Structure 1
Amino acid sequence: MNEIKLTQFSHGGGCGCKIAPGVLSKLLASMPAGIVPPDLLVGTDTADDAAVYRLNDRQAIVATTDFFTPIVDNPHDFGRIAATNALSDVYAMGATPIFALAVVGMPLDKLPPEVIGEILKGGADVCRDAGIPIAGGHSIDVLEPIYGLVGLGVVDPAKVKTNAGARDGDVLVLSKPLGIGILSAGLKKGLLSADGYAQMIRWTTTLNRAGALLADIDGVHAVTDVTGFGLAGHLLEMCRGSGLGAEVDFNALPVIEDAAALVREGIATGASTRNWASYGSDVVLPADAPEWQRKLMTDPQTSGGLLIACAPEALEAVQAAILTTQGAPGKVIGRMQAGSPVLTVA
């Protein structure tokens, strides 16, 4: 089992295998208008993290699905990362997960049952840590290994946190450091150190539990999680949904140490380039910014952190919620500001 390298079966791992945002926008634009019942509180309009459907005045169902190809070779770690990433969308809406369904696609002629079993066990271990069961799912025989979850949660309809409610002057907080895509590229090239791999696993398997606590903080106006479109892409979605611009202090960005070193050496994923091609026209970088800074801003994060827009007076409570759930308070990286939905990097 240890001789199997899962990444050899995938053309792009983790959230780096997502369809580029520009292409996805065109695909979604071709979809016919569907039924939008009044109790569908969050649908596809603002590219939010999950759908939200109101059941009654006190309860709403949050539903999402997320799955991808291997980002690491270890099957148990792959399962843990994929499950953590999928549940992140539930937490990003301010909800508490209640159960999950497994999404499984495996090349049965290439992977022995014990390897597939370890992937499933990794996902189950994360769900157990989140306090929920995997109550079912679906599996198929495919060419590349695919694993993920359908995640379902509950939230008070009055406390739903979307990516579209930010206000002028809000502080931007990022709960996890950047660099996961860069580390994954380093891993594929055999350049990732043991400590770098340990940091990669640490952050990609840290549940974004703080999201459920943010629902009870009045000054939290918008939340999203940073995944395949990179920090710049997901912040731009927040800008568009809120009708505001944003400014980020590049030097304030938290970055995993090994990723910072690798990206300066030119190590990055192809998804970073695709991301920039999709939305780079809406990002203003300093004229003398080196290319590696652009690659970091567009680096696809697998199981990335929460990006939170909150009133300055709510900052202490927000960082306390993050500290309580993951052992570090997150970092203030910028602010929302009036103007067109453009991201300015200072």
Structure 2
Amino acid sequence: MMSEIRLTQFSHGGGCGCKIAPSVLSKILSGLPQTGMFPDLLVGLESSDDAAVYRLNDTQAIIATTDFFMPIVDDAYDFGRIAAANALSDIYAMGGKPIMALAVVGMPIDKLPIETIQKIMAGGAAVCQSAGIPIAGGHSIDSPEPIYGLVALGIVHPDKVKRNDKAQAGDVLVLGKPLGIGVLSAALKKGELDAEGYRQMIAVTTQLNRTGIALSDMAGVHAMTDVTGFALLGHLLEICRGSHLQAQVEFHRIPFIDIALQLAQAGYATGAAARNWSSYAEAVILGGDIAEWQRKLLCDPQTSGGLLVSCAPESADAVVAAFNSDGFSRAAVIGSMQTGDAQVMVR
């Protein structure tokens, strides 16, 4: 059931669609100092990875990340659930197990009832409880737009960290969740997403990417990330650039939320999809039969999207089976990594 207060009316952008565009973010980060002087920092800024990883000893490394955004849905409890699942996904994307979280809360106190804010935080706490971790603290401010998310901490063996820049030529690409969340959010904001579409949206965005823990034990899994605000193309390009390889994707093999396909063909899209495309169009080669609506889906920002895995061909069945056993029934092989310029080719 939707909240009586429409949370999305307070935000200029929802979910991961409110991320700063990839090209702009790259310029912002370009002036930061290098982190090479810290030998125990296993993953830092250098590869645009999902989280930082710091080695504590020979068998333990800590994973740290923060993720927060403005409402993508109007229901307060669902907003909290989605934001928490999205933040924890970065831990899973590194192959780690979450151990604790801190809440990041910014709310327009003069506009939202205390009960609404409590529901947001209750939703986040429920997802953390499902992940088996506490929300042990946090920070809050009075802000003009509602903001909620987590600082998430996890643990992983230093030798089992799954970076986004270690793909190998000949790898196959496996996507864990279907795409289309940005399209659904665009329809929702216009009041044109039906109850079944909303149900599917919540089911996808609140499903924890806990399969990342099992994938960390697979030697055949070479690289991993999650698909969020920069869309499939943007996050796949990060794998390509970090690994100095080319990706080849077959559009017909990509899993999409069925209703999102229908809405995309009807013209629904987000402004973030256009910003994404302008940020990386020069590194994408589209086949001549890829329609405009299909291109927009490839640039569609995902909130709490699926894991994207680059693995050895002989490991692909085991990777898909791991996803399936965790309830990701739409997991599929969507392409491969090849030698060549760091770009994505879609046919």
For this structure pair, what is the TM-score category when the shorter chain's length is used for normalisation?
Answer: over 0.9
Measured in 2, the distance between the counterparts of 1:98 and 1:223 equals: 20
| Segment drifting more, 147-156 vs 189-198 | 189-198
Q: CA separation of 1:340/1:321 partners in 2, compared to 1, >3 Å: closer, same or farther?
A: same
Q: Distance in 1 between matches of 2:96 and 2:75?
A: 30
Question: Match of 1:114?
Answer: 115
Equivalent position of 2:130 in the other structure:
129
Contact 2:177-2:305 at 8 Å conserved across structures: yes
Give the whole-Å Cα distance in 2 for the aligned partners of 1:84 and 1:166: 26
Distance in 2 of aligned mates of 1:329 and 1:290 = 23
Paired residue for 1:216? Answer: 217
Q: Distance in 1 between matches of 2:223 and 2:34?
A: 26
Q: Structure 2 matches for 1:279-290, cutoff 5 A? A: 279-290=280-291
> CA offsets, 1:203-224, max 9 Å, x none?
0000000001001011000000
Secondary structure of 2:119 counterpart? helix
1:255 and 2:242 are equivalent in the alignment: no
Report the secondary structure of 1:280's partner residue.
helix
Q: Report the secondary structure of 2:71's partner residue.
A: coil
User: Are 1:320 and 2:321 matched, yes or no?
Assistant: yes
CA drift of 1:271 comes to: 0.2
Residue identity in the other structure for 2:249: V
CA contact (8 A) 1:320 1:329 kept: no
Shift of 1:34: 5.0
Alignment match, 2:52: 51
- The answer to which of 249-258 and 31-40 deviates more is 31-40
- Kindly indicate whether the alpha-carbon contact (under 8 Å) linking 1:224 and 1:306 is maintained by their aligned counterparts in 2: yes
Whole-Å separation in 2 of the counterparts to 1:254 and 1:187: 21
CA distance in 1, matches of 2:288, 2:25: 29
1:285-306 CA distance string (max 9 Å, x none): 1124211111000000000000
1:308 positional shift? 0.2
Counterpart in the other structure of 2:228: 227
Q: Paired residue for 1:182?
A: 183
* RMSD of aligned alpha carbons: 1.0
* TM-aligned CA deviation for residue 191 of structure 1: 1.6
List gaps (5 residues or longer) in structure 1: none
Deviation of 1:13 (Å): 0.2
1:2 paired to 2:11:
no
Structure-1 separation of matches of 2:75 and 2:53? 34
The number of residues matched between the two structures is 346
The more displaced of 49-58 and 189-198 is: 189-198
Normalised TM-score (structure 1):
0.98
Partner of 2:158: 157
- 1:301-326 Cα offsets, whole Å, 9 max, x none, are 00000000000111121112111212
Distance 1:53 1:172 in 2: 27
Report the alpha carbon displacement of residue 174 of structure 1 after superposing the two structures with TM: 0.2
Give the drift of 1:327: 4.3
2:326 alignment partner, SS class: helix
Q: What residue number does 2:331 align with?
A: 330
Equivalent-residue separation in structure 1 for 2:36 and 2:329 (angstroms):
42
SS of alignment partner, residue 326 of structure 1: coil
Identity percentage of aligned residues: 65
Distance 1:31 1:293 in 2: 36
Give yes or no for contact 1:79–1:122 (8 Å, CA) kept in 2: yes
Aligned match of 1:40: 41
In the alignment, the residues of structure 2 paired with residue 43 and residue 81 of structure 1 have an alpha-carbon distance, to the nearest angstrom, of: 26
8 Å CA contact 1:164–1:238 kept in 2: the answer is yes
Alpha-carbon distance in 2 for matches of 1:36, 1:262: 49
Alpha carbons 1:181, 1:299 under 8 Å: kept: yes
User: Is this contact kept in 2: 1:319–1:329, CA < 8 A?
Assistant: no
After the TM superposition, which segments of 4 or more aligned residues of structure 1 sit over 6 Å from their partners? none
Is the 8 Å Cα contact of residues 177 and 328 (structure 2) preserved in structure 1? no
Please state how far the C-alpha of 1:35 moved relative to its aligned partner.
Answer: 6.5
Paired residues of 2:95 and 2:213 also in contact (CA < 8 A): yes
Which residue of structure 1 lines up, in the alignment, with residue 202 of structure 2? Answer: 201
**Cα deviation digits, residues 52-74 of structure 1 (max 9, x gap):** 00000000000000000000000
